[in-house]
């Protein structure tokens, strides 16, 4: 078995040319398991790991202005350069200059008239963030509490869109995308992506309470139900359970358990769809997903990549998810193949039975089974590429270390 991923390697840039066609071989030790949380290893390992410095992968250069204008039929490249020298071209109401690069959304004018041009949108980027308790998922908090966005890397084009939310005291996996379309699709009720949580409650759930939570409990904002419940043990009055749910209304998991008389003392999201919280990803740290992992996310919600469709404006009104994800009122789409079957696979934390009953769903709305893909679980490709890069660097002595330092630069 390969060496376990070292925490300092999480987020290292990858050699895409070398790793592009390689198939991921997920390792169970790469991701957080429910047993890690119940046993306390989750907290022990996090406390002993130093927070590494990370940078986003280098982004492709944007096209030059004179080339874009030539492709738009305004004239030859030399003619466009001459117009730039004469001051007859502006970008965002500022005089253009020779060699200037433009990006999607820039306003270009020739002789004061706006020009329509086509330019490929930037590639979609996705990061996995390990949210600690005490942070809020908002750009601007009126109470000036710590926000998750202060920990994220800067995007030079666009901004990070959160895939749902986790409330103040909930911790664990939180996804962000530079594509508003992808983020909204991952939250959309019709896809019913399953969220998995480790939850610690006061007192043990009896058989009747479990069945009630699986059948559905009535909350102030409608019926809510778990997809599965699995016992995890615990000490004294504190009992751990692994639960799955296919929506995320505000504080929904907490309110459901409170409705049957059990207060929640800790709540950790360990999976969102096929993406599992990576082991070694310290609280407050992030990891960028590789291209194949992003494509797997897109396939899960039937979304085309930017190169396959024209750019579209993000639907700002679709991100309504508070609490533990996006609100899902469509009960007919709760099921589907959400990493079905018994928990296992290589690093995949799937539906683990409990007292849950399988639900049927229309084939078009089913989430692809990650165990039937080369990824095994989303994020495995990124983790394995980083591990292989670390092993190659360690075998080349001091030269390898220098290469690693160089690869961290943006």
Q: Do the beta carbons of residue 367 and residue 266 sit within 8 Å?
A: no
Q: Which residues are catalytic?
A: 167
User: Which pLDDT does position 85 carry in this prediction?
Assistant: 93
- Phi and psi at residue 151, to the nearest 5°: -95, -10
User: Which pLDDT does position 40 carry in this prediction?
Assistant: 83
Task: Report, in this order, helix, strand and coil percent for the chain, each rounded to 5.
Answer: 30, 20, 55
User: Which pLDDT does position 265 carry in this prediction?
Assistant: 94
Domains of the chain: 32-58+127-370 (3.30.2350.10), 65-114 (3.10.290.10)
Task: Let me know how many helices (H) and strands (E) the chain has, helices first.
Answer: 11, 15
Q: Do the beta carbons of residue 151 and residue 284 sit within 8 Å?
A: yes
Q: Which residue, among 79, 114, 78, has the nearest Cα to 93 in the 3D structure?
A: 114
User: Which pLDDT does position 1 carry in this prediction?
Assistant: 36
User: Which pLDDT does position 359 carry in this prediction?
Assistant: 40
| CB-side neighbour CA atoms (13 Å) of 379 | 33
User: Which pLDDT does position 375 carry in this prediction?
Assistant: 35
Its sign, for the CA torsion 243, 245, 249, 252, is negative
CA pair distance 275, 297, nearest whole angstrom: 9
Tokens of 398: 């001091």
Its sign, for the CA torsion 297, 299, 305, 309, is negative
Between the two ends of the chain, the Cα-to-Cα distance in Å is 32
Q: Which residue, among 241, 297, 267, has the nearest Cα to 124 in the 3D structure?
A: 297
Name the DSSP letter for residue 341. Answer: S
Q: Is 406 helix (H, G, I), strand (E, B) or coil?
A: helix
Q: Which helix (H) or strand (E) holds 240?
A: strand 238-245
Alpha-carbon Rg of the chain, whole angstroms?
24
Tokens of 44: 């022990």
**Is the pTM above the cut of 0.85?**
no
DSSP string, 342-395: SS-SSS------TT-------GGGPPP-GGGSSSSSBTHHHHHHHHHHHHHHHH
Q: Do the beta carbons of residue 8 and residue 282 sit within 8 Å?
A: no
Local confidence pLDDT in tens for the 410 residues of the chain: 333 333 333 333 334 433 333 333 334 457 888 888 888 888 876 555 555 556 666 666 778 899 999 989 999 999 999 999 999 999 999 999 999 988 878 899 999 999 898 887 788 899 999 999 999 999 888 999 999 999 999 887 788 999 989 999 999 999 999 988 899 989 887 788 899 999 999 999 999 999 999 999 999 989 999 999 999 988 778 999 999 998 878 899 999 999 999 999 999 999 998 899 988 888 999 999 988 888 888 888 875 444 444 343 334 333 334 445 444 444 444 433 444 333 333 333 333 333 434 343 333 444 433 333 333 456 656 666 666 665 666 555 544 444 444 434 33
Q: Is 15 helix (H, G, I), strand (E, B) or coil?
A: coil
Dmax over CA atoms of the chain, in Å, equals 80
Q: If you search the block for the tokens 């007919």, which residue do you land on?
A: 332
């Amino acid at each position: 078995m390969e060496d376990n991923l070292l925490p300092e390697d999480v987020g290292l840039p990858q050699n895409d040319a070398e790793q592009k066609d390689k198939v991921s071989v997920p390792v169970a030790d790469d991701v957080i398991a429910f047993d890690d949380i119940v046993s306390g290893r989750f907290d022990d390992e996090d406390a002993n790991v130093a927070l590494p410095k990370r940078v986003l992968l280098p982004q492709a250069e944007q096209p030059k202005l004179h080339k874009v204008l030539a492709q738009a039929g305004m004239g030859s490249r030399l003619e466009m350069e001459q117009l730039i020298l004469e001051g007859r071209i502006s970008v965002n109401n500022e005089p253009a200059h020779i060699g200037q690069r433009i990006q999607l959304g820039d306003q270009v004018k020739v002789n004061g008239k706006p020009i329509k041009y086509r330019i490929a949108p930037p590639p979609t980027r996705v990061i996995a963030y390990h949210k600690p308790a005490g942070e809020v998922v908002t750009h601007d908090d009126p109470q000036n509490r710590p926000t998750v966005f202060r920990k994220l890397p800067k995007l030079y084009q666009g901004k990070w869109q959160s895939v749902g939310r986790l409330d103040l005291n909930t911790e664990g996996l939180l996804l962000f995308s530079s594509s508003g379309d992808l983020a909204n699709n991952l939250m959309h009720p019709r896809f019913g992506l399953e969220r998995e949580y480790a939850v610690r409650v006061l007192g043990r759930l009896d058989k009747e309470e479990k069945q009630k939570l699986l059948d559905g409990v009535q909350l102030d904002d409608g019926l809510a139900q778990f997809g599965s419940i699995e016992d995890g043990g615990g000490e004294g009055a504190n009992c751990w359970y692994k639960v799955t749910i296919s929506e995320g209304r505000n504080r929904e998991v907490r309110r459901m358990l409170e409705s049957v008389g059990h207060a929640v003392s800790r709540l950790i999201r360990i999976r969102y769809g096929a993406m599992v919280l990576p082991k070694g990803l310290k609280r407050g740290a992030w990891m960028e997903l590789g291209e194949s992992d992003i494509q797997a996310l897109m396939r899960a919600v039937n979304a085309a990549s930017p190169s396959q469709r024209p750019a579209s404006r993000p639907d700002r009104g679709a991100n309504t998810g508070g609490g533990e994800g996006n609100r899902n009122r469509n009960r007919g789409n709760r099921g589907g193949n959400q990493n079905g079957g018994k928990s296992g696979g290589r690093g995949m934390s799937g539906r683990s039975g409990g007292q849950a009953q399988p639900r049927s769903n229309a084939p078009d709305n089913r989430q692809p089974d990650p165990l039937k893909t080369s990824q095994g679980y989303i994020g495995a490709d990124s983790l394995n590429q980083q591990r292989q890069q670390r092993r190659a660097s360690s075998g080349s002595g001091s030269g390898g270390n220098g290469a690693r330092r160089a690869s961290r630069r943006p």
